[in-house]
Structure 1
């Protein structure tokens, strides 16, 4: 895995432009890319209903069962706008012929770095992430010292795509409904 470019991208157009410029084999998005089975939207006024009486998607419930907290994709979700944007972006990217996967950097951190991770918004947390990412990734990361917690999460998302490409990934959830991909547990072997 080689970091060839990084930047803060704010619009979907900027994201699409970067993808078209670099042609990645896999695009990893850190946001829900699907709705729970049975839902056509997340609007409380819509009569659509989840096919499950349980909250959220199977992948989110599975993460929670494993002790990894996350936001649930429900009609009461505080991240509705992000979910709608991510789904539309995924649809646009896949329509252009790219493979898109859903990732969750916090789950990757837990899987790769353990459960005792300082909060990413603190200086200690950012320093911890930079140190661990530098040791974890197969090649040196240029400008890593300039990364904030958002860029560290983006780097973890890219690393998940890299592991997906190498077959060192675990799919969490129901593939029909939407899965989250996290690093696989490798017995006696290091990722990458």
Structure 2
């Protein structure tokens, strides 16, 4: 079996609470992002983009999340924690392209594939990584004011990347005999 298949069959996200510094350097992040862009994209619409947050930006985001959580009664500590712990966050932003023959759902799936590809590229590069959303991914004031998204953009995921000292325990996986139907006629 190839190393790629070994990776895919054993890949495991690292919980954001286990991530810390250091994180990948810019050259490594550029490779991770390039891999993230190699996804199915019917019509070559590129209905997604990446925003990389590091350093002081992560502290600002964390503070904004805590303030907003207090306003709306959400758990600010839980939502802001990944921005405090991981040294890098790649926000995968989706934006469907109107007026094409490509269905919106295919464009949404392409953005999801981009998020998964970024996650897998980070993990395959030896980093700890976790794909999160939570309420912050749909809160309009945060999306507009903190993350700078426009009205037609949405968050496919926040990919938090850093060093993970302790590998997490394996979690239950699907029983593939119950998830697969074989049809030969």
TM-score by length of 1: 0.26
Q: Return the structure number with greater helix share.
A: 2
TM-score by length of 2: 0.27
Give the structure, 1 or 2, with the largest relative contact order (CA under 8 Å, sep 6 or more): 2
Q: Return the structure number with greater strand share.
A: 2
Larger radius of gyration, structure 1 or 2?
2
